[in-house]
Each structure stands twice: as C-alpha cells, then as structure tokens.
Amino acid sequence: MSEGPSKQKKPDPCSFVIFGATGDLTHRLVIPALYNLAASNLLPDNFCVAAVARKGVSGADMRNSLMDGLRKFATRPVDEEVAMRLLACVTAIEADVKDPASFDAMRDQLDKVEDIRGTRGNRLFYLATPPNAFLPIARELGRTGMLRENGTWRRLVVEKPFGTDLASARTLNAELLKLVTEHQIYRIDHYLGKETVQNILVLRFANGMFEPIWNRNHIDHVQITVDEKLGVGHRGSFYDSTGALRDMVPNHLFQLLSLVAMEPPVKFDAHSVRSAKGEVLSAIQTPTEAEALQNSVRGQYVAGRIGDADIGDYRAIAEVQPNSTTETYAALKLTIDNWRWAGVPFYLRTGKALCTKRTEIAIKFKQAPFAMFRDTQVDRLSQNFMIISTEPTEGIELQFNTKVPGPTINIDGVEMKFRYKDYFKAEPSTGYETLIYDCMIGDNILFQRADSVEAGWQAVQPFIDAWKKAGAAGLETYKAGTEGPARADELLARDGRSWRKLG
Ligand SMILES: NC(=O)c1ccc[n+]([C@@H]2O[C@H](COP(=O)([O-])OP(=O)(O)OC[C@H]3O[C@@H](n4cnc5c(N)ncnc54)[C@H](OP(=O)(O)O)[C@@H]3O)[C@@H](O)[C@H]2O)c1
C-alpha cells in the first residue's frame, strides 16, 4: 500500500516561510499538501509556517483564511484535530519589497518565533508569488542575511514559470546564483510530484524487459499529449502574454520527455538523474526558422461546446487583445540528436478547450518486420503502443495483437492495462506533498537544475522566435471542444503517422 512520500523519515525542525500567503496557490495546493503531510505524520516535530503578506493580516485572520482554503481544497476529509495542529504553527508576517525595513523586521520576527518553536534556524522560503516578485524577494532575503547557511540550512523554492524565454531564464538563474548556491534552489514543477511521472524512471530502470528495446531500433516515434478541456477562463491577461508553448512545453512536457528519453543515470541521486535529464534536453535539435515553422502548429480556439457548456472565442476573453495571435494550442515535432534517438520523432501537443482532459506519453513500437499474416485486414491490427498516462487515469497500457479464438487465424488488437488504483491504496493528494517533503529533507532529485531549465528554453526558443516573426500568418483556429487544429494531424500525416485519438 502506498501513502504519498515513501521515505518515512521526519524532516529536520524548520520554518516554512511562504510568500504570497494570501494567494490561490497557497490556499489551493500548499496548505492542503501540508495538511496531508501532517495527517501522515511527516511534518517536523518542531515546525513553523510563516505566512507572509504584503499588507498586514492578523494571525487569526490568516489562520481563518487558510482554514477556509483547506475546507474547500482538501483532497481528503479534514480531521479538525490535525488541521488545528497545523494551523497552530502559523504566524502571519508583513513584508513588502517596496519597504526594505519590513524585511529586517521579518528577520527579527522569524528569529523570535523560531526560538519559541525550536526550529533551529532552518528555513524554507517558498516563493508562491507572481514571477516578477521572485528576484526582488530573493534579493531582500539575501540583503538581510536570511539566505546565509551558518550551521543551518536555508532553501529557496521557486515556482513556475522560471523565465519567459531563454534570455530571461538565464538572467534569473544568474541573479539567483549571486544570492544562493545551486543546492539551495528548488525550482518546482508540480508535474514531478505525480506518481506516474516518477514511475517512468522505475518502469524503465527497475525492469529488465523494457530498456533493451527503448531505442531507435525498436521505437518508431513518441507522442506526448497534455490536453485540457478548460478554456483560459479568467486568466486572460496572464495567458495572452504567455500562450500554450511557454506555459506548458519547456516545463511540463519537457519533464515528461526527459524522463522518457534520458540515458540511464549511473546512480539514483540528484546529481546523476538531473545530469542525464539535462543532457537529453540539450540534445534536442535546434531548428532553423523555416524548420521551426514546418515542424510546428499553433492554434487558437473559437466558440464551441464542451460537454454541456458553451465556450466563447478566446479573443473575447477579458484582457485578451482583440487581434491576439497568442496560441492556445501548440504541436511540435522534435528530434533528439543522440545515438539512442536519431531518426525517432517526438511529437508534442498541448492545448486548452479541447474535447478531453488527457496527459499521456504514447510510445509507438515499430511494426513486426515481416507480414506473415497477410490475409489479416490491416485495420484489425493493433499498433504496438505503450501508453503511460496520468490523466484521466494513472496507469500504463500496452496495445498488441492476439489471435481471435477459433479454427482460423484471425487477429485482433487488444489492450493490457495496469491502473494504479487497482493495486495501491494511495490517499488522494495535491501532487505537492512529495515535493514539499523533499524540500524539507533536502532531496532535490525532483527539482530542475539551472542547466535543464536553460536547455528547455533553448529548445523552444526557435519556435517562439519564428512564431513571433510570422505573426498572424500560420495561426490556425479550432473549435472549442474538438481535438485541435486540423493542421496538427497533417504534421504527423506527412510522416505517415497519426495522433492517438483523444475522445
Ligand atoms: N494557483 C495555482 O494553481 C498555481 C499552480 C502552479 C504554479 N503557480 C504559480 O504560483 C505563483 C502564485 O500563483 P497564484 O495562483 O497563487 O497567484 P495569486 O492568486 O495571484 O496570488 C499571488 C500572491 O502573491 C502575492 N503578491 C503579488 N505580487 C507580489 C509582490 N510583488 N511581492 C510579493 N507578493 C506578491 C499576492 O499577495 P498580496 O495579497 O500581497 O497581493 C498573492 O498572495 C505563480 O508564480 C504561479 O505561476 C500557481
């Protein structure tokens, strides 16, 4: 039976200092995750949550607000005793980078609280704020000496998005590394908190049967899909300056790609795993402008229907430019220049307002080399796919051909399915539990290192540049509630392939 983080050791005493404590992420995911850790007895015995807001909020108001959030977003029934134990650790702190003295005051306040709670000066600073506040806050923490490790540990958790392009990611890395060393930075990508995603490593490297065929000799191509049914909703301003490519590809889709495509690390430790992931991302071929346009599709949704709901045009959303060319759908064909993957295309697609919510990696194996069963109708034959999915169900599926019972040789495609929920009784989680727990025990294997972040941006930058230059030319539209723009099908059809059906 699995119950969240497998390592059952309690973290060191520490303070969990969260900036953006009044925000959505704190209420929706961070506090429910801390609650789940508390319920599993995986928080330190000496613990403090310092909830930082720019405007003064009393301790009682902060605790009430976090409790309301917990009631709304908890992934399991809330046990009042556990919730009260967690909320008793919460202290509200006021600090704003516009008022540097507030950070000096915060340092003194933290010192006092830590004396009382016995957290020994270990601090996790979680930046749950808009990205433009990451660096100013880190600079204030640096100026006031709060990032200095002096027989204690000090860690900085940085939320996504980490940069908006290659240049800004490089700058953010360089500036943060003036304040802390790499081992203190935890660049979070919540996809890595998902069990199925972590299981890709186990599937590949703890089993003898898959790795020998995990290469260009046996794999025809790989499809990575992260599709959403939801439209852009009320996030028009953020989304219109971001788009599907920036929002999803260098982080989430590349996490999946790097786990599927990386070389076996020499050890299961942060250095080896992160190096192997970084290497494969840097092996993604850099396309020319013409190749980038040819090997990509971008689309924007127009009014349609998803289930029972009517969805309007993307361009009609508040704070979206009326002539916006921001894509709500992106599909790319990438190639990886190394011995394992030469000639194996990786097709990536992600979009909003589509017919289904699905996250999967589909690995298509090559056809059997000799068509022995000539009389079989081709459409009866299954394509040999291995599908690793996290949405709508977490599991792994194999598609292969089998003989239909009877006196003649008739062949039919069948599926062999493993679903997590059939084997393991895991409590529903937010996906942040393992990540927060790992930050507290100092294990950064699931966090992105500077080189991987930059390699990810490097790989998408040619597409960003080419699309910007092309403007409206080449931007497709698709009806909300469909599988996306038709040209995405052509991207594969050109190579004699097709996407797995979404519906
Ligand atoms: N929400 C999610 O599901 C989710 C998921 C993954 C990643 N993220 C990332 O998490 C971060 C926070 O997102 P969110 O959805 O929680 O946003 P949000 O609801 O807008 O909350 C932002 C928080 O940051 C504070 N804040 C705003 N500007 C600030 C500044 N200049 N300095 C210090 N604090 C500032 C706000 O506090 P005030 O009360 O002081 O204004 C608020 O508490 C973003 O980087 C986002 O990309 C969010």
Give the start-to-end residue ranges of the domains of the chain.
14-159, 192-486
Amino acid at 187: R
Domain spanning 192-486: CATH 3.30.360.10: yes
Banded model confidence at residue 269, pLDDT cuts 50, 70, 90: very high
C-alpha distances in Å from residue 223, one per residue of 62, 111, 219 = 44, 51, 11
DSSP 428-451: P--S-HHHHHHHHHT--TTSB-HH
Rounded percentage of the chain residues whose pLDDT exceeds 90: 85
- Contact call for residues 445 and 190 (beta carbons, < 8 A): no
| pLDDT over 90 at 470, yes or no | yes
Question: How far is it, in rounded angstroms, from Cα 482 to Cα 358?
Answer: 13
The number of beta carbons lying within 10 Å of the beta carbon of residue 381 is 17
The number of beta carbons lying within 10 Å of the beta carbon of residue 262 is 23
Which pTM value belongs to this model?
0.93
SS3 353: coil
Q: Please report where in the chains the tokens 């192997």 appear, as a residue.
A: 276
The pair of structure tokens assigned to 271 is 């250095």
Q: Please report where in the chains the tokens 């996290």 appear, as a residue.
A: 390
Which has more pLDDT, 378 or 214? 214
**Which residues are near ligand 1 (CB < 6 Å)?**
19-20, 22-25, 28-29, 53-55, 97, 128-131, 133, 159-161, 190
* pLDDT, averaged across the chain: 94
Given the CA of residue 131, which atom of ligand 1 is nearest to it?
45
The pair of structure tokens assigned to 314 is 């993307």
Q: How far is the CA of 232 from the centre of ligand 1 (A)?
A: 17
Question: How far is it, in rounded angstroms, from Cα 7 to Cα 56?
Answer: 37
The reply to whether 192-486 shares the fold of 14-159 is: no
| pLDDT over 80 at 379, yes or no | no
**What are the residues whose beta carbons fall under 8 Å from the beta carbon of 314, sequence distance 6 or more?**
231, 232, 300, 301, 302, 320, 324, 326, 328, 353
Banded model confidence at residue 2, pLDDT cuts 50, 70, 90: very low
Distance of CA 109 to the CA centre of its chain: 34
Banded model confidence at residue 271, pLDDT cuts 50, 70, 90: very high
Q: How far is the CA of 20 from the centre of ligand 1 (A)?
A: 5
pLDDT recorded at residue 370: 65
Of 28-42, 72-86, 283-297, 387-401, the range with the lowest mean pLDDT is 387-401
Given the CA of residue 132, which atom of ligand 1 is nearest to it?
31
Name all contacts of 97-105 with Cβ < 8 Å and 24+ positions apart.
97/133, 97/136, 97/137, 97/139, 97/140, 100/140, 100/143, 103/140, 103/141, 103/143, 103/144, 103/146, 104/144
Residue nearest to atom 1 of ligand 1 (CA): 25
State how beta strands 90-94 and 123-127 pair: unpaired
Q: How far is the CA of 174 from the centre of ligand 1 (A)?
A: 23
Helix count and strand count (H, E) for the chain: 17, 17
For residue 52, give the nearest of 19, 10, 85 by alpha carbon: 19
pLDDT tens-digit series, residues 49-91: 999 999 989 999 999 999 999 999 999 999 999 999 999 999 9
* Torsion sign across C-alpha atoms 173, 179, 183, 186: negative
Mutate to test the pocket of ligand 1, among 54, 75, 157 (most ligand atoms within 8 A of CB): 54
Amino acid at 121: G
Mutate to test the pocket of ligand 1, among 18, 25, 241 (most ligand atoms within 8 A of CB): 25
Which CATH number applies to 14-159?
Answer: 3.40.50.720
pLDDT recorded at residue 377: 63
The pair of structure tokens assigned to 115 is 């004396």
Q: How far is the CA of 180 from the centre of ligand 1 (A)?
A: 22
Would you name the residues annotated as active-site residues? 252
**185-187 sheet: strands from edge to edge:** 90-94, 47-53, 14-19, 123-127, 154-158, 185-187
Surface-to-core class of residue 409, CB atoms within 10 Å of its CB (0-12 exposed, 13-18 middle, 19+ buried): exposed
Amino acid at 118: G
Banded model confidence at residue 4, pLDDT cuts 50, 70, 90: very low
Residue nearest to atom 40 of ligand 1 (CA): 54
pLDDT recorded at residue 401: 87
What integer is the mean pLDDT of 121-145? 97
